[in-house]
Amino acid sequence: MSQSNPRAYNFNAGPSALPLEVLEKAQQELVNFQGSGMSIMEMSHRGAIFEAVHNEAISRLRKLYAIPDNYEVLFLQGGASLQFTMIPMNFLQVGKKASYIMTGVWSEKAYKEAKLFGEPVQIASTKENKYRNVPSLEELDVYSDDAYVHITSNNTIYGTQWSEFPDTGEVPLIADMSSDIMSKPVDVSKFAMVYAGAQKNLGPSGVTVVIIRKDFLAMANKDIPTILKYTTHAESNSLYNTPPTFGIYMLGEVLKWMEDQGGLTEIAKQNEEKAKLIYDVIDNSHGFYTGHASKGSRSLMNITFRVADEELEKQFLSEAKDAGFVGLNGHRSVGGCRASTYNSVPYDTCKALSDFMIAFQTKHQ
């Protein structure tokens, strides 16, 4: 932080930074939304005002992400963690297997939940390499009778990301995109289903976006609890039960902000420039900083690294905190440092970290 910029340099992994313009607009509209005399949080989710907000958010998401008409867009709750359960509950039929590609903790959690409902199999894993990379496409062996193949597109803890997605042919491909959804253009038609918690690139915590192909949806198991059926939410426009109204409103405002940035092509360019600022410092530090992820698998969303030795690393994190940097500690399971540079993290925030890292190395080398 500085006197001219009282906001923290926010690198939190999630919930994460939101655009200042969106926060300021929400502040202005918080008490009296569209002249209603109520906050968006106080009004009925079945009333005309919220329904318009809800539908506009879906429309903007469809347009920005170029989602084909044969896909449903759902706003659910429970985060990606509930999706780990709902997916096998809905789509892992008796006598079928589901293939999971293991690239980190979140794919491990998804696989664990699938074991409660049937026979998931691990068709590839980079665990032996401490999840420093994602598997090469040549390593994958997809079986034609699989119920689905599941991947995690970006791995927040280890800082790895798929740059190219596997082609699973007729087997439905499902992607957990919680930490890189809408960070770049993606051909949604390659997937039977994409899902993501909103709290990294799309808004505050509490909303989970599900994009699901209609013919895949039609294959879902029937004999499961009503609220855990995707068809329930598709048939009711995600209004079967009370949705997280404020979160959906905020998601819609973040999508407007993305449009104002120039859409996903421009967002992707900005994300590449931001990440390069930090990766260049790591690569040019002659070992003072070392990245965790292999170069070919590096994430543009989560930059994971270590400092030369343990004591210096503690000092780095302490001095960074004093300088106004927030969220630079690595995940508790692996330690180290992590800078999460999601869509809403400004270029100037990444430049400030780059400058701080260079100055710290110069002082302590």
**Which residue numbers are catalytic?**
106, 176, 200
Instruction: Count how many Cα atoms sit within 13 Å of the Cα of residue 243 in the half-sphere of its side chain.
Output: 28
Question: Of 295, 250, 340, 322, which is closest to residue 60 (Cα–Cα)?
Answer: 250
Give CA–CA dist 159/292, Å, rounded: 7
Place of tokens 């008490």: 31
For the CA atoms of 273, 279, 285, 291, the dihedral, rounded to the nearest 10 degrees, stands at: 170
By the 8 A CB rule, do 211 and 73 touch? yes
Q: How far apart are CA 288 and CA 313, in angstroms?
A: 10
Q: Would you list the DSSP string of 161-223? A: E-SS----TTSPEEEE-TTTTTSS---GGG-SEEEEESTTTTSSTT-EEEEEEHHHHTTS-SS
N- to C-terminal Cα separation, the chain: 25
Q: What are phi and psi of 291, to 5 degrees?
A: -80, 150
Q: For residue 238, give both structure tokens.
A: 């995600």
61 half-sphere exposure, CB direction, 13 A CA radius:
31
User: What is the rounded distance in angstroms from the CA atom of residue 146 to the CA atom of residue 142?
Assistant: 8
Shortest CA distance to 335 belongs to which of 178, 158, 155?
158
